[in-house]
Structure 1
């Protein structure tokens, strides 16, 4: 590392809270699938800011929408109407088939909003006794880092020494429909689940799981809440990951790619009366639904569809997955993925995934480890076949090495 890179990293360490352990690169520019560091080295981004930059870095049409709106009006609060919110509602509802929309900022805010909404629905519509609502969640989930959310995490690093936590959550194994059926009681108001567990290492449920989940939720009058903050908006090769399963959630949570990486934008989508229980003064956000966010999100959704990014994610994801599976390396335990949401799980004896990510950096690829032995791979949805092949050559070189 040059002295300037070391200075950037040292200054971060000196003044910043040490709640991240980034790969040792200092980025200064991005375009499409590529990012450049402060020394001019180019890298293929295989993380996409945890899928927030699905449309590619600094997409010109989203940038233009942001600049244009920033010159006109950025924030009104929800105390007044603005001329972008209604259009955002109309367009996201048309795209996803939703009936009601609640705009927020971060993914975690969307999750918290959904928890509040389904509880309120449970008391006012389903008739659950006040204070007794139960929400079922899955082990190894990741829904965010606010206090309410980490209370039902099973990751000790996420929830350790942050308690006490709010009650009202039951934790069951992911991908086990029988466990869900056993956990349901008359006080259950919702099942909150990721279609694919991203932070856990791109864990895909068994075939038939979600149709059975949908059946159980319908039969027991509880809301199926799908956290599509990472999986949604084309990442898996379909607009929403639920479409792979042939089901429809009652409540869908979107974020990350909803702004193409330009601005924090999230949304709670509902196809029933869950959001209808909220009345003025009961929930809100100063920045949620602001005109700048809405203009950016509208452009981000538009380019996703008009430029065929969802279809490209399906094609290139299949190519990437097949290429990873063709790598003959004793280090690899399993390769899995759907669309451009991929993972390579290493044998524990092969060493930490972090070491492989650091080696990939030296080959011009930025990827991120998770859960010690898994490399996540999630490039922007604009990646080309040639770029996939270029990346596969470098993955093959690194994965055949031993970093134990």
Structure 2
């Protein structure tokens, strides 16, 4: 999602994405689904908007986007991310099956460890980005979270691949469960651990970034999956909650004074400062992991084996460089928005902006986008077409704000 101000946002449906068009004045063209926390969000004064086929909170009450953003950076905020699709893959071949879909070395992930990865099409393009968590030491059970806006595409892809796998590997059959109705919240910020510690006996000091645990949460001691990580660059946790306990646990977290409910507006500015992609804007099926600055997802042993979808393209790009690369920009003056064209100093078109905001933390405008290979180096001066004028900008590394992960 791209953002202007807390009072000038309209979020319209477009293939499950967030798009700015000005002030919200009209209802969605279709009936959206609701997360288990929908009524809780409404009761807390959320401004609900369509996103990825769901009614989701953009902001809460009179708290503006910048104030909400800053609260996450200085205290703790809670995001309803229950629209995300939660999966469980189980069986002797679960690890091998998932390995066949992505370029990541899943055998290197320890028990209860997690990794970002990507589902690849046969051309090496990114079908979706996802989080994979190994729940058993032998890799026979995995917890996976994918994007709501890609739910139909992901389900079709996974279903076809799983059917083929089980037919070809009857001795390594895999079962697949989608956790329908489960809640998922992200507690983010420097006081997130202190807040969550009030509700669980889990040793959070032993839980590092990228690790997870099943633990009792809340006054009723409900068994939940707690993963240390998130989408803001801050320390934090994502908590998966059973359907009958999601509302109660969320209410208990929000009862802690330091914790504010935070909506999609601040979530977008936080993730862009952290240099993280939003699928459908910064990534799509035409983009390879190398173009998307995600080469680190391609394991060294996987490169040697060339045993993942689209390997010929991806390995060629690793060797010779891709045609384009995802980079960050610092943009003085007016902010650059999605779709703005990028030019070199001589006026030659070299790329496009995919996300852009005024950064609340840095006090300047930042953006993310793609430029031709060779124009991607730190400090490269460029021009961006903003309001029909070419304005100076500079390529800069991401993240824009240093991460504060607990390691």
State the TM-score, normalized to the length of structure 1: 0.29
Bigger strand share: 2
Q: TM-score, normalised by structure 2?
A: 0.29
Larger relative CO (CA 8 A, sep 6+): 1 or 2?
1
